[in-house]
Amino acid sequence: MDKIATPEGTKAILNKYSFVFRKKFGQNFLIDPHVLDEIIYASEITKEDCVLEIGPGIGSVTQELIKHAGKVIAVEIDKMLIPILEKQFGEVQNFKLIHEDILKVDLKKLIEEESPGKRIKVVANLPYYITTPIIMALLEDELSIESITVMVQKEVAQRLAAPPGSKQYGAITLAVNYYAKPHLAADVPRNCFMPSPNVDSAVLKMTLNKEPVVAINNTKQLFRIIKAAFAQRRKTLLNTLMANGELNLSKEALKQLLDESGIGATTRGEALSLQDFASLSNYIDEHRM
């Protein structure tokens, strides 16, 4: 089979099956084999691995995953792509295709059935419109996942991997860092796709933490504080936490707790690390009256 992730290979598949792109699925197929190599390299897939591929499309990345992995489970939402994928890979022994919305799949059950006792690796070329919900579902649902390697909008990748104090740093950065260690593996120009999107992309790898990276008494409170801190990012912690109101503290009591914790009432959320937020949350939890 010719390589799909090239302009010629993609055009051949599209023409052969008279495929019509559907805007609602945000379909952009990879046509650069060098970027494909970057994805495979970043994901560190071996024959010992079971891979969950989200959004295989016409099989541009699937074709290479099958060569490197012990098993590939591909979940595709577009019914128009199912016959193409079945025709391309239906006879391949280490390939399984599921026609479903990834957000509706019981992933815990799927992983237990397809990879019992082993953690899996996720690889995905995610539609821009639904990137964050998919990533957060994979991180939050306590699944047996070792790593997640995704192609996402470059701006999103930069936000997820941003350091404290940067313009991109925000609540979603801290949420990702709570569950995983993100790493920007490669930049991907828009002309590497067919059709070409309006923005550049990037390959982002998230290696899930095997142990908690912070000690936290109340996880829900931690994320309430983080969310509030970035709701009005130019305001001080005191003002933005008071505006949020969920801590149910007077301004004087909150100011005292912020100052006594060592964080400071005039500090802005963008200056704090995940450890800082965890320390603050624990201090408030332990010292509020």
pLDDT in tens, 142-183: 999 999 999 999 999 999 999 999 999 999 999 999 999 999
Residues 24 and 167 in one domain: yes
The answer to whether residue 1 is domain-embedded is: no
Hey, what amino acid is at 108?
K
Residues 110 and 248 in one domain: no
Residues 111 and 56 in one domain: yes
The answer to whether residue 198 is domain-embedded is: yes
Backbone angles phi, psi at 88, to 5 degrees: -75, -45
CATH at 226: 1.10.8.100
Residues 231 and 170 in one domain: no
CATH at 23: 3.40.50.150
CB 7 within 8 A of CB 31: yes
CA distance 46 to 226: 37
* Alpha helices in the chain, H assignment, sequence order: 7-17, 33-43, 62-68, 82-89, 107-114, 131-140, 154-160, 171-179, 219-229, 237-244, 251-261, 274-287
What is the DSSP-derived secondary structure letter of residue 25?
G
- 272: burial class by Cβ within 10 Å (0-12, 13-18, 19+)? buried
Residues 181 and 235 in one domain: no
Residues 199 and 242 in one domain: no
pLDDT in tens, 247-284: 889 999 999 999 999 999 999 999 999 999 999 999 99
Which domain, by its residues, includes 229?
219-287
The answer to whether residue 243 is domain-embedded is: yes
Residues 226 and 91 in one domain: no
The answer to whether residue 244 is domain-embedded is: yes
pLDDT at 40: 97
CB 28 within 8 A of CB 5: no
Q: Which of 188, 208, 228 is the last residue of a domain?
A: 208
Residues 80 and 190 in one domain: yes
CB 70 within 8 A of CB 50: yes
Domain count, the chain: 2
For all residues of the chain together, what is the average pLDDT?
95
Residues 11 and 86 in one domain: yes
The structure's pTM equals 0.94
